[in-house]
Amino acid sequence: MIELKDIEKYYASKGVKSYILRHVSTTIKQGEFVSIMGPSGAGKSTLLNILGMLEEPTYGSYSFMGEDVTTLNERKRIELYRNHIGFVFQAYHLIDEMTVEENIEAPLLYKKVPGAERRSRVADILDRFNMVAKKDLFPNQLSGGQQQLVGIARALVAQPSIILADEPTGNLQSAQALQIMELFKKLNEEEGITIIQVTHSEVNAAYGSRILHLLDGVIKEDVNL
Amino acid sequence: MFRINLKIAFRNLVKNRVYAAINICGLAIGLTAFILLLLYINHENSYDRWSPELNRVYQLRERHDFFTPDNKQYWQEVNDSKVAALVRENIPQFKYVTKVDNTWGSGSSIKAGSSDPVMMDYIRDADSSFFKVFDYQFLQGDPVTALNQPNSIVLKQRTAIQLFGTDQVLGKEVKIVMWRTDKGTPMKITGIVAEPDMPESLLFDAIMHTGEKDKDPINYTNFCRVYALAGSDIDTAAVNALLQKTYVDFKKSSFVQRKISFTDVYKTGKTPGLKAIPLKEVHASPPFDISWTDQIKPVIALSVFLLLISVINFVNLATAQSAQRAREVGVRKVLGAFKKQLMVQFLLESAIQCLFALFLSIALVELLLPMFNTYFEINLSFWYSHQLLGILTQLAAVFITITLLAGLYPAVVLTNYQPVAVLKGNYQHGFKGVRLRNGLVILQFMIAVILMISIGVMKLQTSYMADKNLGYNKAQLININTNYDEGFVNHIRRLPGVQYVASTTQVMGNVFNMPEEISYQNQNYNMNTVTVTMDALPALGVEVVNGRMFSAKYGQDTVNTVVLNQTAANLLGKNIIAKSYDVKSENEKYTFQIVGIIKDYHNEGFDKAVLPTIYKVTMLGGTSSTNNLLVRFNTVNYQPVIKAIEKEWRALYPDFPMIYTSAEDTFQQQLKSSHRLVQMIFLFSIVSVALSLLGLFALSAFMAERKIKEIAIRKIMGATDFQVINMLNRSFLILVALANLVSWPIAYVLINKWLQGFAYRIDMPFMPFLMATFMSMIVSILTITIRARKAAVSNPVEALKYE
Ligand SMILES: Nc1ncnc2c1ncn2[C@@H]1O[C@H](COP(=O)(O)OP(=O)(O)OP(=O)(O)O)[C@@H](O)[C@H]1O
Ligand SMILES: [Mg+2]
């Protein structure tokens, strides 16, 4: 599903190149649950952003579902977001002016899903996440864990084939974190959704099927569990 | 999608309600001025459009130099009455031609039965074709035959109701008295016409047919207005070429009869001319005054500026807020929103604010219209206006333009945020579009400063004009609208309190200039001539510079002596008292002796220079009496004297009310038009300055809010409140100073141009420039400080905890 070949990323400042990623090549297949680990500043977020096409690599090629996406125009990229990619952020990034229900509905609006289906899908997800009672609340009326649940629900509602999550539990207590991980595992196993997450926690990583260890921009280890 | 966007827009408005309120109110004020202007323009554009037939009606204009303020040639709407017959016989394209009185502003008295006579300004005498050319709707009577018989009259419906209390008056009689000593003519009412629902350039209360207009005088010229109805759509250029040719031929043949040569008459750069202009264009092209389209140009500029200032406020606040919205943009993009969709969302938000502003401004317009109407002596209305549909379309266009102007740039800034920058969480707090925003603040303050300088200079010029010595004494002087009649004058001259009674053809408010060429010491000069009675110059209270004024002691004063004004004397040179000059007439030569020189006095606005003028008591120069009877009182409390004069008048002329104006009122009237402009600019300036400051206030408030954390940290590091306030002030003050710098030369050029329009003006003063700069700096410092203080004195711990 994902094929990275010789990805490099550097920032040039005052003529000095500082490398963030070097010679990153890897393949991620449909249905995998990959955790990216490594010390702070190793380039984990950068790698995930490149996978999510939020950043472009300085060098190398990236193909997503058989299509070369190394450089894509904004419109094509956003079409991929609509149909295939769901993002989950450490800081949740819900839209403050929208209620829980509206936040979850937003991707479907952009995807132009008809009204009836939209409502039933949102209701479905709310139900599944046990959030029906909270659907009319605004993000600032929820706890962090609840907000992240909404964030995940929002990523899932458009039925993506892959979820990219950058430290999804970084701001949460361990009990809530475990709940989110259980959810990821379930989604991965039951619905076959590919998941790539960045995490600092061994425990979280253990929920996945594969771990990429990143050190100074280089993949040091690639472990299948 | 639309619904949810709408919802979000509203939630955002509520969240930023203070800024939204500032935006909306600012825009509403800008829009109000603009809508008022639109209404005014629409009104002025609606003249002579009350019937589709009027598309084929034309007004004839002859080019001549009679009745002009400066003895130059103008295309005038009062023509030689012979023009009508000329057009009727030679221009087949015109089906009907009609002659109608120009009323010259002197009313006629109309009397129904035994009731009191009523003065009406516009009772016009016309020939029988009037209603064939003008398609008035007859409520009673027959348009074809109404004016066929002499001594018939057609009333406007409101005139009938005013006189009789009803419009069922067909066949009744009214008595018309056209001047003081007129015996009066009974006229039979043969028609009642409806008042058109749109304004007319040819106003009338009634159209009468005395029979005077059926023929042309042979030995002299009768002046009237001439209108023609084209049979079908015509090629105006071709018709005008034909008119011109016909007219020149006519002039030539008439000169042959009078044994004058054509080239002699038109040698001094003057040319004969006759043309037809569509009736629809008449109102926009008055013969002497600048047309309303030119008059309102500065007002248009002002309203556009005002709107611009409020739009700038809007853009500045919106871009300042963009940092707040950036995260939302990033998230929406990764959720699958195209740039275009986000664009629509942000434009929708601007549109909602603009729509609020629009509604608010419509309410404001409704509120202000009565005041506006009295001030400009006009009758505008919003909902009852005949072009409501037109206005609504115009408003829709304005709405869309404003929405795009105000919303497009912020929307572009916002939608250009890249998700990664925002979502990484480390995106700069740096505001996008800082440079543009600074530019806009400068522009805004430039407008405000230029306006402030302008009002300063304008105030100085107007007070200069108001206090300027007119050269005559306008206190205790009235002008009765009538001819000099020895009998009546003797009656009132005896009244206690009356010092002088006199007549002149030249007094402010009613000037009748006569050009004349004189030959003095073998050189020709173009002069203006004024005919006066013996007492006129002392009655006006003008000053003698040299020699003497007219006096009954000198018998020759009624024959061939003249008094010159200073300008005329300067033209002729030094030592001219007791010298003589000649005037050549058709076959004779008259000689006049100069007996005195008086100081120039003003009888037009200060925009016009005083003409070189010759004053004569004699009738040899040939000029008619022009309905000025000056009465000077030797008491301050002259109201009872006027009452006494009125009593004398009523005894002599019971059917014709006395009309008079005081010289003081006439002068104020004269000042009014330039005064209005000044006051309007004054109002606009105040509002513009207030809006600019409001914008600055909001912007600094916003900056302070964004900088709360920085301020808190600085305070913890030991900065004083003063230092913090200073920090916030500095960034804006540089902008305001820059704006001042740019404004000075622009203001200088603009104001200089305005001042050039006055023949009598002040030198460019320096004070307003200084004042404007001083004011703009002080007020912005105050504005920002109020806001900055609030941020500075807040407890730093609170701010940090909050973040
Ligand atoms: N715009 C940029 N310009 C220069 N350097 C950058 C830029 N963005 C990121 N970096 C650098 O890239 C490196 C990798 O950053 P990245 O965010 O990928 O680290 P990370 O592995 O996610 O760390 P953490 O666990 O702390 O989130 C860091 O050293 C960072 O300083
Ligand atoms: Mg990271």
Give the start-to-end residue ranges of the domains of chain B: 2-42+294-465+669-801, 54-283, 482-658
> Across A97-217, where does the E strand assignment appear?
162-166, 194-198, 210-215
- For atom 30 of ligand 1, the residue with the nearest CA is A41
Nearest CA in chain A to B16: A97
Model confidence pLDDT, tens digit, residues A138-190: 998 998 889 999 999 999 898 899 999 998 988 888 888 898 899 999 999 99
DSSP annotation of B303 reads H
**Cβ–Cβ < 8 Å for A29, A222:** no
Comparing CA positions, the residue from B635, B251, B650, B350 lying closest to residue B475 is B635
Residue B622 has pLDDT above 50, yes or no: no
- Among A83, A91, A109, the residue with its CB nearest the CB of B425 is A91
**Cβ–Cβ < 8 Å for B253, B90:** no
Test A96 with B419 for CB contact under 8 angstroms: no
Q: Which of A81, A138, A141 to mutate to test the interface with B (most CBs of B within 10 A)?
A: A81
Which ligand lies nearest to the CA atom of residue A42 in the structure? 1
pLDDT attached to residue B625? 64
In which domain, by residue range, is A105 found? 2-224
pLDDT attached to residue B803? 36
pLDDT attached to residue B618? 62
Residue B672's alpha-carbon distances to B465, B475, B669, in angstroms, are: 11, 18, 5
Residue B428 has pLDDT above 80, yes or no: no
Model confidence pLDDT, tens digit, residues B53-91: 999 999 999 988 777 767 778 888 888 888 999 999 999
The average confidence (pLDDT) of chain B is 85
Model confidence pLDDT, tens digit, residues B203-233: 999 999 988 888 888 777 788 999 999 988 8
Looking at B486-619, list the stretches that DSSP marks H as alpha helix, in order from N- to C-terminal side: 486-493, 536-540, 566-572
A68 alpha carbon – ligand 1 mean position (Å):
25
Structure tokens at B332: 């929406």
Which ligand lies nearest to the CA atom of residue A20 in the structure? 1
What CA–CA distance (Å, rounded) separates A86 from A52?
Answer: 9
Tokens 């505001």 map to which residue? B431
A88 alpha carbon – ligand 1 mean position (Å):
18
List residues of B whose CB lies inside 8 A of any A CB. 1, 4, 7-8, 11-12, 15, 327-328, 330-339, 341, 418-420, 423-425
User: B94-100 and B223-230 as β-strands: parallel, antiparallel, unpaired?
Assistant: antiparallel
Domain count, chain A: 1
pLDDT band at B795 (very low <50, low <70, confident <90, very high): low
**Cβ–Cβ < 8 Å for B188, B145:** no
Residue B13's alpha-carbon distances to B7, B286, B433, B671, in angstroms, are: 10, 50, 22, 48
Structure tokens at B466: 């108001």
| Mean pLDDT of the region B90-95 | 91
- Among A79, A89, A105, the residue with its CB nearest the CB of B423 is A89
Contacts of B334 in chain A (CB under 8 A): 52, 54, 81, 85, 87
List the CATH number of the domain containing A79.
Answer: 3.40.50.300
Contacts of A87 in chain B (CB under 8 A): 334-335, 423
Residue B564's alpha-carbon distances to B502, B514, B526, in angstroms, are: 18, 14, 13
Question: Which residue among A7, A20, A48, A212 is best mutated to probe the pocket of ligand 1, counting the most ligand atoms within 8 A of its Cβ?
Answer: A20
pLDDT band at B800 (very low <50, low <70, confident <90, very high): low
What CA–CA distance (Å, rounded) separates B540 from B630?
Answer: 8
Model confidence pLDDT, tens digit, residues B517-561: 888 888 888 888 888 888 888 899 999 988 888 887 887 777 788
Comparing CA positions, the residue from B56, B535, B8, B501 lying closest to residue B277 is B56
Task: Report the atom number in ligand 1 closest to the C-alpha of A43.
Answer: 18
If phi > 0 it is left, if psi is from -120 to 50 it is alpha, else beta; for residue B545 that is alpha
Comparing CA positions, the residue from A93, A100, A92 lying closest to residue A138 is A100
Residues 6+ apart with CB under 8 A from B323: B429, B431, B432, B706
Residue A11 CB–ligand 1 contact under 6 Å: yes
What CA–CA distance (Å, rounded) separates B792 from B803?
Answer: 16
Phi and psi torsions of B351, nearest 5°: -60, -40
- Decide: helix, strand or coil at residue B124: strand
Residue B153's alpha-carbon distances to A204, B159, B185, B229, B396, in angstroms, are: 104, 12, 11, 21, 46
Task: Report the atom number in ligand 1 closest to the C-alpha of A13.
Answer: 4
Residue B263 has pLDDT above 80, yes or no: no
A40 alpha carbon – ligand 2 mean position (Å):
7
Residue A47's alpha-carbon distances to A56, A61, B697, in angstroms, are: 10, 13, 44
Contacts of A52 in chain B (CB under 8 A): 334
- Among A55, A105, A111, the residue with its CB nearest the CB of B336 is A111
Test B334 with A109 for CB contact under 8 angstroms: no
What CA–CA distance (Å, rounded) separates B202 from B283?
Answer: 9
Comparing CA positions, the residue from B125, B187, B128 lying closest to residue B152 is B187
DSSP annotation of B126 reads B
How many CB pairs below 8 Å do chains A and B form together? 67
Query: What are the contacts of B397-401 at 24+ separation with CB within 8 A?
Result: B398/B31, B398/B34, B398/B35, B398/B38, B398/B358, B399/B351, B399/B354, B399/B355, B399/B358
Residue B92 has pLDDT above 50, yes or no: yes
pLDDT attached to residue A160? 92
| Mean pLDDT of the region B389-412 | 89
What CA–CA distance (Å, rounded) separates B22 from B25?
Answer: 5
- For atom 29 of ligand 1, the residue with the nearest CA is A41
Residue A69 has pLDDT above 50, yes or no: yes
Contacts of A111 in chain B (CB under 8 A): 336
What CA–CA distance (Å, rounded) separates A185 from B312?
Answer: 53
Buried b (16+ CB within 10 A) or exposed e, B89-103: eebebbebbbbbbeb
B219 or B141: which leads in pLDDT: B141
Comparing CA positions, the residue from B366, B361, B369, B443 lying closest to residue B402 is B361
Q: Which of A85, A110, A111, A163 to mutate to test the interface with B (most CBs of B within 10 A)?
A: A110
Residue A73 CB–ligand 1 contact under 6 Å: no
What CA–CA distance (Å, rounded) separates A37 from A52?
Answer: 17
pLDDT attached to residue B789? 75
Q: Which of A74, A136, A152 to mutate to test the interface with B (most CBs of B within 10 A)?
A: A74
Nearest CA in chain A to B422: A93
Residues 6+ apart with CB under 8 A from A117: none
pLDDT attached to residue B620? 43
Tokens 């979502």 map to which residue? B423
B28 or B791: which leads in pLDDT: B28
Test A93 with B327 for CB contact under 8 angstroms: yes
Query: What are the contacts of A10-19 at 24+ separation with CB within 8 A?
Result: A10/A58, A19/A217
Nearest-Cα distance to chain B for A173, in Å, is: 21
Residues 6+ apart with CB under 8 A from B351: B399, B403, B407
Strand partners, A62: A4
Which ligand lies nearest to the CA atom of residue A38 in the structure? 1
- For atom 22 of ligand 1, the residue with the nearest CA is A45
- For atom 7 of ligand 1, the residue with the nearest CA is A11
Residue A46 CB–ligand 1 contact under 6 Å: yes
pLDDT band at B801 (very low <50, low <70, confident <90, very high): very low
pLDDT attached to residue B216? 84
What CA–CA distance (Å, rounded) separates B171 from B146?
Answer: 11
Lowest mean pLDDT segment, chosen from B22-36, B174-188, B689-703: B689-703
pLDDT attached to residue A192? 92
Comparing CA positions, the residue from B581, B575, B577 lying closest to residue B547 is B577
pTM above 0.90, yes or no: no
Task: Report the atom number in ligand 1 closest to the C-alpha of A44.
Answer: 21
Residue A41 CB–ligand 1 contact under 6 Å: yes
Nearest-Cα distance to chain B for A57, in Å, is: 13
Residue A199 CB–ligand 1 contact under 6 Å: no
Lowest mean pLDDT segment, chosen from B84-98, B133-147, B500-514: B500-514
